Amino acid sequence: MDLQQVLPKPDLLSARVVLAVQPHYDDNDISAGGTLNSLAETGSEIYYLTVTNDLMGVIDNTLTSQEATRQLRAEQAKSASVIGVKGQYWLGFPDAGPFDHFEVRRGIIRYIRILRPDFILTVDPWTPYEAHTDHIFTGRAAAEATILYSMLRLTTDPEVDVSYQPHEILGIAFYNSFTPNTYFDITHNREKKHLALDAYKAQFSPDDFPILHMWVEIRERMHAENCTSPGCTHAEAFKVLNPRLLHGVGETWKF
């Protein structure tokens, strides 16, 4: 018996409640929007938790922080209505830092205890050449929260902690992974995904959108080369793991 038999890869399709933790307001949709829309259409509850305030990338420098935040959240709401996101939450840490890993982890654990997801979806912090610290910190904090959320000596808000009833997170899925092990067919969901991306006007100019869609489609077609579903032309790639493989297992990258 080997380790993969003891801790098999969880089935992302079986997820009933997904907490998708992203650094910025568009990361989930760019890298996993088709998959999340598919899950929503089959009855899964999808929640987004955005770690940063995302202000650094706002194009219009005449907007105040408050005005920019209103625009960002309005665009998130518009995109969410297309994807099928049930709820949006924000931690509000400064875009491009600095922020503290442990405070981010605490915020993520708080929402895990509130929402009780059975699957976490986030950016892979161990991807080589990832230069954006927001992505690295978010992925690492989300991964660590996934293995520590049930330890009630790690406190968040007293009212949240005292009412929390233990539950199990069955899996974690990392997007933008260097070693994906799951290719999700989004052939029939890609139109909604790309429609959702069109909502993000605060950080993309009209000239940016053709480049964004082209770049995203190139990756979808590249991932489809490894997709085993009949007729798959577009796919999204993930590293899907049993959370128990996130601590003390040096071979996890192989799975």
Q: What is the mean pLDDT of the chain?
A: 96
Predicted local distance difference test score (pLDDT) of residue 8 = 86
Cα separation, 11 vs 241, in Å, equals: 9
- Does 143 map to a domain? yes
* C-beta separation of 146 from 243 below 8 A: yes
Would you state the structure tokens that stand for residue 80, as one six-digit string?
Answer: 């969410």
160 burial (CB, 10 Å; 0-12 / 13-18 / 19+) is middle
Give the count of beta carbons closer than 10 Å to the beta carbon of residue 128.
5
254 domain residue, yes or no: no
Q: Residue 90's pLDDT is what?
A: 97
Q: What is the pLDDT of residue 1?
A: 59
Q: What is the CATH number of the domain that holds 76?
A: 3.40.50.10320
* Structural domain contains residue 255: no
The secondary structure element, H or E, covering residue 110 is helix 101-115
Residue 252 lies in a domain: no
Q: Which residue range(s) make up the domain with 221? A: 3-247
Average pLDDT over residues 207-216: 97
Domain-embedded: residue 148: yes
Q: How far apart are CA 165 and CA 115, in angstroms?
A: 11
Residue 253 domain-assigned?
A: no
Query: Looking at the domain assignment, is residue 226 inside a domain?
Result: yes
Number of structural domains (the chain) is 1
Distance of CA 140 to the CA centre of its chain: 12
User: Model confidence over 174-202: pLDDT tens digits?
Assistant: 999 999 999 999 999 999 999 999 999 99
CA–CA gap between residue 222 and residue 186 (Å, rounded) = 13
Q: Is residue 58 part of a domain?
A: yes
